Structure 1
Amino acid sequence: MPQRTVTVASRIGLHARPAAVFVNKAKELPVPVTLARDGGAPVNAKSLLAIMTLDVRGGERVTLAAAEGEGAAAAVDELADLLETDLDG
């Protein structure tokens, strides 16, 4: 299972607009993807409510993981790159 740990670049974390941008991108991907805070349980990255419930703040580290399958590693890389971008604007 491909996974990657990244630091969230958006100052406000994954709230409102940044969370929506992230979830919309995750929904476009062909494999199931999860997101977890350090030491926390993973949630469905394609669920806006689940992502916002994580209460991820800017500068926090999170772990992305994708189920095995075609495009899984690329999906993790694409979402990781998005989280490492400031989505506040």
Structure 2
Amino acid sequence: MYSKVVIVTNKTGLHARPASEFTKKASSFKADITIAYKDRKINGKSIVGVLSAGITCGSEILIAAEGEDEQLAVDSLAALIHTNFGE
């Protein structure tokens, strides 16, 4: 398992378009991906799960992956968040 703590810095958090981009990117990897936020574990490939988590700007999340491409998955998703989803 590989994981990384990331601070969400885009204005809207992981809502609507950013959540869609996150889950689309997460789904491109073979590894199982989870987001840990406020004592919850969310399937990183589930748009409903990510949206229902209510992850807002300034939130600290833990992105974790387990599987053959786990490090690439986590690093790519963390980079997506760090670049504010291109906003």
TM-score (norm 1): 0.90
Q: Name structure 2 gaps, 5 residues minimum.
A: none
How many residues were matched structurally? 87
The alpha-carbon deviation at position 47 of structure 1 amounts to 0.3
TM-score (norm 2): 0.92
Q: Return structure 1 stretches of 4+ with deviation > 3 angstroms.
A: none
Partner of 2:11: 11
- Report Cα offsets for 1:30-87 as digits up to 9, x if no partner: 11100121x42211000000000110001111000011x3211111111111111212
Overall identity of the aligned pairs, in %: 34
Residues 10 and 88 in structure 1, CA contact (< 8 A), matched pair in contact too: no
Question: Structure 2: how far apart are the matches of 1:87 and 1:59?
Answer: 15
Higher helix share: 2
Higher strand share: 2
Partner of 2:32: 32
